Amino acid sequence: MSFERQLVRCGMLVVAVLLTGIGVVQKMEAQGCVVAHSVGEIGGPDSEGGYLAPGHWELTFDYRHLYSFRHFVGSVEQVYRTEGKSNVRNRVNLFDAGLTYQITPRFSVEGNVPVEFASRRYYIGVGTLGGGVPAVPLVGDFGLSGMGDISFMGQGWIWNPKNNPSHNIQIGIGVQMPTGRDNIQNKFAVIPGTPPSNQTADYSIQPGIGVWAIPFSVQSFQAISHSVQAYFNGSYLVTPSETNGVANISPLGTPQPPQNAYVSAADEYLLQAGFSYMVAKVKGLTLVGGLRKEGVPAHDLIGGDEGFRRPGYAVSLEPGVVYGFKNGHDVITANIDRAVYRNRIASVPDMQLGTHGDAAFADWLWLASFQHRF
């Protein structure tokens, strides 16, 4: 194997968990929340096979699992919520299928279809929220599933891959369509003491965001030595609409202020940086270590910022493994991310109303991917 080819092998990998269709970050507050509706990538050109050759296809299946239950206001954990069992617990399983076609050595197109299975559970005991609220227990236990928002993206390497096996930058831009439902209903009690009725489930577990969006992505890598590579990847989802038109339902039946009457169409982002190490004694095996930051900003790049959103971010340690076989045509990846810092920042309505909502975050994020080239 040539030296250049070995440099390309050196940690060139894909982990999958894509920013909400490249797709990015959604959902947060006094209810279980998903920090990012995404999958994401790690490293340089996909797998030990190096750059995808023109005229070839790449099929990827991604899986993401998280369980959010710890509530934060700012960076301070609201321990009483967990101890008093008034915390909200979201469990989200996101499956993602992507297909890439390499048109030329530099340019490719990609399509992505996500499917979500999620549940939301809470038990709010008498007086656990202070001031005798609620007066009787409030119980919620429901699930939903469905296809998410389909996205398409065009991507291009800045430098010709033929002449740059050890470093490059890929930039992508696309469109995300509102194919996923954002208003699925379940039967649960909104007001303590009243019978359960059909109500729109919280937006944190809805499979779609309900608006057209524009995903941007950047993927970069730099070989440091024969077996070590540095990488940096980023994604951002621009949502020009201010809200998605879905009414924001309070779990305690209290009326919402005008700023929070509808669910916000919020931007989302994902950042990843780290190093990969090719294990020389085990053919096809690469170890990865880095940091991941994903979140929802309080202010969008385009459009208004009102509507109900739970902005904030989580920073996680992101160790993982990548194993390539069949000469790089097939690749399996696995990550277990551990959150080390979480911050529920104030939303624009929070700032206007002088309040500061909370958000539930996960401790762990489980990611896995299978990739096949043909």
How far is CA 280 from each of CA 10, 11, 49, 155, 350, rounded to the nearest angstrom?
Answer: 10, 11, 16, 31, 53
pLDDT of residue 253: 67
DSSP secondary structure letter of residue 272: E
Q: Given CA atoms 246, 360, 92, 138 in this order, what sign does their dihedral have?
A: negative
C-alpha–C-alpha distance, residues 95 and 60, integer Å = 11
Write out the chain's pLDDT in tens, 374 residues: 433 333 333 333 333 333 323 333 333 333 345 455 554 555 555 445 689 999 999 999 999 999 999 999 999 999 988 888 889 999 999 999 999 999 999 999 999 999 999 999 988 778 776 777 777 887 888 889 999 999 999 999 999 999 998 999 999 999 999 999 999 998 777 776 777 788 899 999 999 999 999 999 999 999 999 899 999 999 999 999 999 999 998 777 677 899 999 999 999 999 999 999 999 999 999 999 999 999 999 999 999 999 999 999 999 999 999 999 998 899 999 999 999 999 999 999 999 999 999 999 999 999 999 999 99
pLDDT of residue 250: 74
Beta-carbon contacts of residue 130 (< 8 Å; ≥ 6 apart)? none
pLDDT of residue 41: 54
Q: Given CA atoms 157, 159, 161, 166 in this order, what sign does their dihedral have?
A: negative
Q: What is the pTM of this model?
A: 0.86
pLDDT of residue 42: 52
Contact 322, 43 (CB under 8 A): yes
pLDDT of residue 140: 81
Residue 241 DSSP SS3: coil
Over 308-363, what HEC string results?
A: ECCCEEEEEECCEEEEEECCCCEEEEEEEEEEEEEEECCCHHHHHHCCCCCEEEEE
C-alpha–C-alpha distance, residues 282 and 358, integer Å = 46
Helices (H) and strands (E) in the chain, counts: 3, 19
Whether the link from the prior residue into 195 is cis, omega within 30° of 0, is: no
pLDDT of residue 37: 53
Radius of gyration of the chain from Cα atoms?
A: 21
pLDDT of residue 86: 84
Query: Which string of DSSP letters, residue by residue, matches 182-231?
Result: S--EEEE-SSTTSPPEEEEPPGGG-S--SS-BEEEEEEEEEE-SSSEEEE
